[in-house]
Structure 1
Amino acid sequence: MKQKKMLPAFILLMAPAAAILLILISTRYGAKPMTLETVWNAVFAFDKELVDHQIVMTSRLPRAIGSMLIGAFLAVSGALMQGITRNYLASPSIMGVSDGSVFAVTLFMAVLPGATPNLYILSSLLGSAAGAAMVFGLAWLIPKGMTPVRLAILGTVIGSFLSGVANAIQSYFQVSQKLSFWFNSRLHQLDPEMIKLTVPFAVAGLALSLVLSKSISALSLGEETAAGLGIRVWLVKGLAMLAVVILTGVSVALAGKIAFVGLIVPHIARFISGSDYRWIVPVSGVLGGLFLTLCDLLARFINFPFETPVGVVTALFGVPFFLYLIKTRGGEQRA
């Protein structure tokens, strides 16, 4: 038993060093490479008169930190969704949660162009909650709607609808240029102030996820089993979905919809950690942050010196993985 926990424990132990290394690499490399000395001086001896220092502190470093955080948020959200629904296809981008946020933020940006960043974060949180409610509400009404493939189809249909309406809104209100970076998830335009504003929400969402992780382990075995162990099933599900809404909402508010991180990473974390969500949740967070940061690095060099949206890179990994899950797991609930 102890040997089974050695690998996830090792990953969590090495996570700070790996994160610092990736952040450093991400900060150094781009259209204009930076030396280590330049990065060090920009961080610890910032000179606003130097262009390189401005690039590091206003673009490269927020981008690296932001991609690490967003990847962690989305991966933890996916792990929670897969645990409480026992659905191996569950993730924020497939189940309509991300698309609900996209729709709500687009609407707020169009109707209230002078709104504060706090309002955009709030709108994203409300939108993610509405998107999840629509998908799971319809799935509840449709016969066998909670099976993995049908739930994924419902999420895709509703997500496409919300995304289409969002595109119509941005065209009608002529805010396409303002929203273009956000619709394409271009992490190089992350707002450092927005990252600071999302920290309290992110801390709350991650803390709630960790607190619930033991109960989700029981819930992943089935509702009857969990109830027999004294778990208050609907309370745990409700609080877990609240954590998903918070983490997905702040992610979309920061950088728009980024697909497949919440699908791929929890499966890798489960393969490494077993069925205990006390390990799956933190390992998902660590691997999600590293995964998205690596994808962002690839996005810079696929069509160098031009930027490729990071969502294109995550889709290159995610689409084959999604098809693999459908082929190997079919349409059954996870046991």
Structure 2
Amino acid sequence: MRDTPARLLNLLSLLQTPREWPGSELAERLQVSPRTIRRDIDRLRDLGYPVEATKGAVGGYRLVAGAAMPPLLLDDEEAVAIAVGLRAGAGHAIEGVDEASVRALAKLEQVLPSRLRHRVSTLQNATIPLTRGDGATVDPHTLTAIAATVTGRERLRFGYRSGDGTETKRQVEPYRLVSTGRRWYLVAYDLGREDWRTFRVDRVSEPFATGARFTARELPTGGDAAEFFSHSMSRNQPEHTLDVSFEAPADFVAARLPDYLGAPEPTGPGTCRLRTRSQDSLEWVALRLALVDCEFTVHGPASLSDYLTELGARLTRAGS
């Protein structure tokens, strides 16, 4: 292999596998001499790749963790697997899959060859994910389009459907994507309203990067998108003080409730009680409590008790 840049890329790809490579095996793989391999290793080190060498009969080379993340070289199967995994997590707002994952997906899809992009789409379209059904799904293409404009500080146009079904066209300066574990939101400066807004991403349609760059504005909260989002939500939704006791151990209940509700406190060998605050709707809270799959008693608020009574009667009628 006479092309030095191509050979270095192939060498780097081999070294990124989790094993130690003897110099003789690398030379055989790349069809060069062991001396050329040693020179190529020095070149990689000069470029900032931390290649470690061990001596002895079974010694060799391996890439170790350094101060910075080097560019990853993926084969076709690896690229498809990562893209499908990131798409699945992003599309269903799985807890722990945050904006960084969406940015990674946006970068990966930007450089995927068309043949691999087609394989990713085909595989995802043929797969039905088993999700909890407790959050709105999001088109991964919408997420990656938004993430790209956030990173590039590029104005974004899109259609938006409000909670009451009203359709509008928006042009914004996107600031950050925020994941709550159930839904994705975009924090952005709305140029038409001349004010900051939060948008549910599952209600966004036809996102289009305009190409117009902008200088990022400072948020009213001082630059913390999560704080601004929380403040924005608190203005729009009432907060409930929940007080619920369960006929089940605390760890059993905690495993079946969202983390943001907090941990229930044990009250006995097989009982616990949850006291927390939530801005979720009563319908949502009632559903989550029912999914815990144990006996429970609502001590407050009264509106939640009333709703559960009404829901129980409706379910009883439906099953009779």
**TM-score, normalisation: structure 2:** 0.22
Structure number with the higher helix fraction is 1
Between Structure 1 and Structure 2, the one with more strand by share is 2
- Tell which structure's C-alpha radius of gyration is larger: 2
Larger RCO (CA within 8 A; separation ≥ 6) = 1
The two structures have a TM-score, normalised by structure 1, of 0.21
